[in-house]
Structure 1
Amino acid sequence: MNELHHTIPSNAEVETACNLQDIPKLEEWPTISGEGEYNHMEFMKTIDIFKEYFNIPDENISARLHFLFTKSEDKWYYKMRQHHVKHSWGWWKEQIIPKLANESLRFKMKNSFEEAIFSIERDSPMSWFLKKKDR
Structure 2
Amino acid sequence: KLTNNLIKTHSTCNEVKSNGMIHFRHNLGSVINHPLTPNSIAASSSDTTSVKEIQPTEEMIQSSLLKQLKKDYPTAQDWPKFKGEGKYNHLEFIKWVDLIIADLKMPEELVTAKLGLIFEGLARQWYLEIRSDVGPMSWPQWKIQIENRFGTDAWKHNMEEAFMKDTFNPSIHKSCLQWSLQQKKRIQAFDPESSVKRIIEKILFRMNGTIRNAIKSLMGANITWDKFIEAFQDVCKDNNIMQKYK
Deviation at 1:109, TM superposition (A): 0.8
The one of 137, 151, 156 aligned to 1:87: 137
Specify the code of the residue in structure 2 equivalent to 1:96.
I
Counterpart-to-counterpart distance in 2, 1:16 and 1:84: 32
Aligned partner of 2:70 in structure 1 is 20
Aligned partner of 1:50 in structure 2 is 100
Deviations 1:6-57 (A, max 9, x none): xxxx846665444223202323322221223222111111101100111111
Specify the code of the residue in structure 2 equivalent to 1:22.
D
Counterpart-to-counterpart distance in 1, 2:83 and 2:117: 11
Q: Which moved more, 1:33-42 or 1:90-99?
A: 33-42
Instruction: Spell out the pairing of 1:1-40 with structure 2 (5 A cutoff).
Output: 11=60, 15-40=65-90
Deviation at 1:65, TM superposition (A): 0.6
Structure number with higher relative contact order (C-alpha < 8 Å, ≥ 6 residues apart): 1
Aligned partner of 1:65 in structure 2 is 115
Counterpart-to-counterpart distance in 2, 1:20 and 1:85: 27
Q: State the TM-score, normalized to the length of structure 1.
A: 0.73
Counterpart-to-counterpart distance in 2, 1:90 and 1:13: 26
Specify the code of the residue in structure 1 equivalent to 2:79.
W
CA RMSD of aligned residues (A): 2.7
Unaligned ranges ≥5, structure 1: 1-9, 119-123
Judging by fraction of residues, say which structure has more strand: 2
Counterpart-to-counterpart distance in 2, 1:96 and 1:60: 18
Percent of counterpart pairs with the same letter? 27
Q: State the TM-score, normalized to the length of structure 2.
A: 0.42
Unaligned ranges ≥5, structure 2: 1-58, 183-246
Aligned partner of 2:8 in structure 1 is none
Larger Rg: 2
Specify the code of the residue in structure 1 equivalent to 2:113.
A
Deviation at 1:84, TM superposition (A): 2.3
Aligned partner of 2:173 in structure 1 is 129
